[in-house]
Amino acid sequence: MPADVPASFRIVMIGAGNVAWHLAPALEQAGHQMQAVYSRTPEKAAALATRLYRAEPTASLDFSGFEAALFLIAVPDQALPEVLRQTRFPQGSLVAHTSGSQPLPVLKAAGANLKTGVLYPLQTFSKVKPVDFAAIPVCVEGSDEETLQQLKAVALSVSPQVYEMSSADRKALHVAAVFACNFTNHLLGISFDLLRQHHLPANLLHPLILETVQKALSFPPFMVQTGPAVRNDGAILAEHLRFLQTEPGYRRLYEVLSASIWREAEQKE
Amino acid sequence: MPADVPASFRIVMIGAGNVAWHLAPALEQAGHQMQAVYSRTPEKAAALATRLYRAEPTASLDFSGFEAALFLIAVPDQALPEVLRQTRFPQGSLVAHTSGSQPLPVLKAAGANLKTGVLYPLQTFSKVKPVDFAAIPVCVEGSDEETLQQLKAVALSVSPQVYEMSSADRKALHVAAVFACNFTNHLLGISFDLLRQHHLPANLLHPLILETVQKALSFPPFMVQTGPAVRNDGAILAEHLRFLQTEPGYRRLYEVLSASIWREAEQKE
């Protein structure tokens, strides 16, 4: 680590949603000083502040009087432009966001004379479930080498898995993560819903789900694809679609996913 | 266990695909005697037989001279009608299949004077990956109480998780399993393919995938859904669809799955 990178940063967290909820305490535990926590909803800022040692909850975006070393913006992508428009940063501050999809240059809207960067923890965060930051890859990007090194130091303080990554690669990674996480979670939700509708215990599927994932992490998933779609078993597919006729949304997904599996299998043949 | 249920069965395995590949050795290890292994492809029957102590590989479906206690049919659903049409079973035999979707009465096609049943191991089987049968739920069904008890005994000899289940419930379970396993595996394959296309390391997504699944097994997935779709973030959705324009199949899945996630989220509001 270059000599000019401090081991401990004073940090302002802008946002009190799922990412901030886990990241702010992890940063504090790593030795940084959380100065303030912003949410436009005062109760949310207060709730996150109670998870921290001495962070000030605030609903104001005027940080011009602050001396933080790092302003971390962890708000939903939709809210980012408005937050950037409203926030007053001290001259020369380092401002970084935590988004998978927002390219670095969006932070130019925060004002001139700022150093900008990205610190993207590649994980799914829900307030109900604690996470172990040490197991989370963190992708960093900086507007200049010094900024990059500073964000790298912050990232390395919470996780050993730190990757320098361009905005373009980060976007590809985010799209892949949507498939691997958000879409997968939805399918698991549907499977449990089908069990519930038929009064079958949810844990029946647990071993299958664990095996599916363990296999997918050890073998190329397209190579170990199983089920009626990859066998192009028209009779079973038709029967399952008939079974799902009272759930047209699930039925549509079944059709589109089965067609995609078969298309992939055909390409390999 | 009723007194008339033997602890050890003589078993003929009809089929040498992924299920038979793992189930036959598991049955043998549980103390049963694998008498013969059928595949219409002699090499496949021979390959499975080498995994067994003294099972005879055969490409003939005439078992009329056999004295096996159980004929287990583990062939693809598509092949089942033809296999049932061709096979000669000894009078009074117990014939069971291992399919999730085939209702018990399909086995009537095997002939009159047979006891019929189902022994469905709820797992995804690939030849490349060993499985631990003790962690696999096995669903059993029988044409009469004695048959049910016999199949239950066989199932319990390989796994403590044995469920008596009707054909209708088994079909619901199988559809749910297709969502939880086959479709999930396909999405994981897509996510790794996107990483590969952008020269990003596949293991970047491993912690996210593990966390997604651990979370889904601990909390209702619809409740902990994250990502742009559940926030209905139109800008990110549009950007991701643009990103996927060179992969129209993936793009279509992205659209349909995102719409389904949003529909589910709306219902909850």
pLDDT in tens, A84-127: 999 999 999 999 999 999 999 999 999 889 999 999 999 999 89
Which residue is closest to B206 within chain A, CA to CA? A217
Query: Alpha-carbon distance B219 to B223, whole Å?
Result: 7
Cross-chain CB nearest to B124 (options A177, A215, A243): A215
Question: How would you classify the pairing of strands B138-142 and B115-121?
Answer: antiparallel
pLDDT for res B141: 98
Measured between CA atoms, how close is A82 to chain B, in angstroms?
A: 14
Q: Which of B78, B186, B243 sits opposite A235 (nearest CB)?
A: B78
Non-local (6+) Cβ contacts of B112 within 8 A are none
In which band, very low, low, confident or very high, does the pLDDT at B7 lie, cut at 50, 70 and 90?
confident
What is the per-residue DSSP string for chain A?
A: --TTS-SS-EEEEE--SHHHHHHHHHHHHTT-EEEEEE-SSHHHHHHHHTTSSSPEEES--B-TT---SEEEE---GGGHHHHHHH-BPPTT-EEEE--SS--GGGGGGG-SS-EEEEEEE-S---TTS---GGGS-EEEEESSHHHHHHHHHHHHHH-S-EEE--HHHHHHHHHHHIIIIIIHHHHHHHHHHHHHHTT--GGGGHHHHHHHHHHHHHS-TTTT--STTTTT-HHHHHHHHHHTTT-HHHHHHHHHHHHHHHHHHHHH-
Tell me the pLDDT tens digit for each residue of B191-220.
999 999 999 998 999 999 999 999 999 999
Angstroms from B66 CA to nearest CA on chain A: 32
Inspect the interface and report whether the beta carbons of B189 and A228 lie closer than 8 Å. no
Residue B6: pLDDT band with limits 50, 70, 90: confident
Are the CB atoms for B212 and A57 separated by under 8 Å? no
Contact A225 B200 (CB under 8 A): no
Q: By percentage, how much of chain A surpasses pLDDT 90? A: 92
Q: What is the mean pLDDT of residues B209-235?
A: 94
Best residue in A19, A236, A237 for a mutation probing chain B (most B CBs within 10 Å): A236
B240: nearest CA in chain A? A175
Do the Cβ atoms of A233 and B76 come within 8 Å? Answer: yes
Mutation target among B184, B251, B255, B266 for the A interface, most CBs of A within 10 A: B184
- The partner residue sitting opposite B195, judged by closest CB among A176, A215, A230, is A176
Decide if A188 and B213 are in contact by the 8 Å CB cutoff.
yes
| Each residue's pLDDT tens digit, B31-63 | 999 999 999 999 999 999 999 998 999 999 999
Q: Is B236 helix (H, G, I), strand (E, B) or coil?
A: helix
- Number of A/B CB contacts below 8 angstroms equals 333
| Closest Cα in chain A to B214 | A210
Closest CA–CA distance from residue B148 to any residue of chain A (Å): 20
Residue B124 to residue A194, Cβ atoms within 8 A: no
Mutate to test the interface with B, among A125, A171, A213, A261 (most CBs of B within 10 A): A213
Q: Write out pLDDT tens, residues B141-156.
A: 999 999 999 999 999 9
Task: Per residue of chain A (269 residues), give pLDDT as tens.
Answer: 555 677 789 999 999 999 999 999 999 999 999 999 999 999 999 999 999 998 999 999 999 999 888 999 999 999 999 999 999 999 999 999 999 999 999 999 998 899 999 999 999 998 988 999 999 999 999 999 999 999 999 999 999 999 999 999 999 999 999 999 999 999 999 999 999 999 999 899 999 999 999 999 999 999 999 999 999 999 999 999 999 999 999 999 999 999 999 999 998 76
The closest CB to that of B207, out of A135, A205, A225, belongs to: A135
